[in-house]
Amino acid sequence: MTTEIDMTALAVFSFFFVLVTVMGFVAARWRRPKTLARIDEWGLGGRSFGTWITWFLVGGDFYTAYTVIAVPALVYAVGAYGFFALPYTIIVYPFVFLVMPVLWKRASDLNYITAADVVHGQYGSRALELAVAITGVIATMPYIALQLVGMAAALRALGLQGEIPLAIAFIVLALYTYSAGLRAPALIAFVKDIMIYIAVIAAVALIPLKLGGYANVFAAADAAFKAKGSGGLLLEGNQYVAFASLALGSALAAFMYPHTLTGIFASKSGNTIRKNAVLLPAYTLLLGLLALLGYMGHAAGLKLATPNDVVPALFKTLFPSWFAGFAFAAIAIGALVPAAVMSIGAANLFTRNFWKAYVNPQVTEAGEAGVAKVTSLVVKIGALLVILFLPTQFALDLQLLGGVWILQTLPALVFGLYTNWFRAPALLAGWFVGFFGGTYLAWSAGLKPLYAVGLGGAPVTVYIGLLALAANIVVACVLNALLPAGDVAKAPAKV
């Protein structure tokens, strides 16, 4: 790829970037509450978002800039296996439909802001609350850092080298998130998602025309995989279980993250969430088509330094520069929305489950909002420093582990919505086994998400997150049955 600065593309890019920056600051006045100095106003938008705002917000926050770059990159590199993102983002919604309205109701009735609030209210255990909170924060941090990787890919394609443009974009983001809270990404998400839809629909409609149709795109990819001797249009026999278990494990983990839960808790009602479980798959369709850009990269005969360049390079080579600028702006803005929501989710956890729990239990509502605002700044600057000073691979490895980790909070968070049988010590032991066992397996597999399990016959490769979750649940059930019943199960407590 050439790295000269294309002025037309840069002008279009700058226009949209300035537009969303203004929107980010104006958002503090949008749907204005009496005060923003309460954590449920700053950090959850007052729990007032209806169907459409939630659709844009969760869509903008779940299908991130990194997704837009990384999914086609994986499909470009390995073929069918990279497509697991599609079944993953389909089967996540029946789960959301059934579970998340129940979780929302619990949180709304008892004024919970975070997953760890829900767990503390259910089990009255500070230790389990802390485990869930820490898991949430450390799983989110590398995810924020990866949004920067997505943004950097778009900036590089514009010819903006070096770290200063990235740092400026992120600091601007940090400032308006500080002032407007969740209202900022919610408002920006409208622009971001519409831009992404336009860019992707144009790409999947027009690029194949230039490349001789979809049949030709698939044939070119097939030829490239055969020439390379790895990857392919179909899964190998030994990839079936890996593909399915990655899809299932990722789907169960997706709505355990602080940023997705923030979108859930910010909804107006359980029904808003159910409607979104019906409507959000529109983004999945987009993601499935977007993934095919990986194959279009082969058909266009791109020569890439890294697979992560496949999407920017396609736009750059096949579209006029004004449209390339538009698409790169969509990707860069696409990084801002999830990064903002992630930092808010992490800040809410820190404030409620560490600051209020250990440092200042008497903190006022305004004090909570103040701590959360400052924490969101610290979190974003931390992620920026990680990307500037540590190798990108570090963030990638941590994000992969983050998926394994966050999945281990599912039993503590979800089981209590349906049964009072479980008690904190058993769930904590299950979390411990899942968290450290999963980390060990991933580590011993060379920081890969898959582990080969020998079951007598040929080993079966399974997603480590799912293996760890199984161990987690077994340990929790067995210990809960064995441990003497301590205090009587009590109704969830109001915070």
Partner 1 sequence: MPSSPNGYLRWLLIIPYIGLLWVPFYNRLEPELFGFPFFYWYQLAWVPISSLLTWIVYRSMRHDD
Nearest-angstrom CA–CA distance, 239 and 219: 22
Binding letters toward partner 1, positions 200-219, x by CB under 8 A = -------------xxxxxx-
* Contact stretch for partner 1 (CB under 8 A) within 55-63, 101-109, 164-172, 438-446: 101-109
According to DSSP, the β-strands at 450-453 and 460-463 are antiparallel
SS (H, E, C) 349-402: HHHHHHHHHHHCCCCCHHHHHHHHHHHHHHHHHHHHHHHHHCCHHHHHHHHHHH
Contact 405, 438 (CB under 8 A): yes
Kindly give, in sequence order, each residue whose CB lies less than 8 Å from that of residue 276, ignoring residues fewer than 6 positions away: 51, 54, 55, 58, 96, 267
Taking the complex as a whole, the smallest distance from the CB of residue 292 to partner 1 amounts, in Å, to: 7
Query: What mask, x for binding partner 1 by CB under 8 A, covers residues 57 to 96?
Result: -----------------------x--x--xx--xx-xx--
Question: How far is it, in rounded angstroms, from Cα 396 to Cα 74?
Answer: 13
Q: Which of 101, 312, 334, 434 binds partner 1 (CB under 8 A)?
A: 101
Does residue number 98 form part of the binding site for partner 1 (CB under 8 A)?
yes
Contacts of 455 (CB under 8 A, 6+ apart): none
Among 130, 247, 386, 476, binds partner 1 (CB under 8 A): 247
**420 scored as a contact of partner 1 (CB under 8 A):** no
Residue of the chain from 183, 275, 356, 423 that contacts partner 1 (CB under 8 A): 275
**Measured from the CB atom, is 104 or 190 closer to partner 1?**
104
Q: How far is the CB of 279 from partner 1 (least distance, A)?
A: 8
Q: Does 256 bind partner 1 (CB under 8 A)?
A: no
What is the CB neighbour count within 10 angstroms for residue 269?
17
Pick from 164, 205, 209, 285: which binds partner 1 (CB under 8 A)?
285
Distances (CA, A) of 95 to 169, 254, 256, 283: 35, 10, 12, 17
Q: Which stretch binds partner 1 (CB under 8 A): 43-51, 282-290, 401-409, 428-436?
A: 282-290
| Binding test (CB under 8 A) with partner 1, winner from 1, 10, 235, 304 | 235
Shortest Å, Cβ 233 to partner 1 = 6
H or E element that contains 463: strand 460-463
> Structure tokens of 73?
């990159």
Contacting positions for partner 1 (CB under 8 A)? 80, 83, 86-87, 90-91, 93-94, 97-98, 101-102, 105, 213-218, 233-235, 240, 243-244, 247-248, 269-271, 274-275, 277-279, 281, 284-285, 288-289, 292
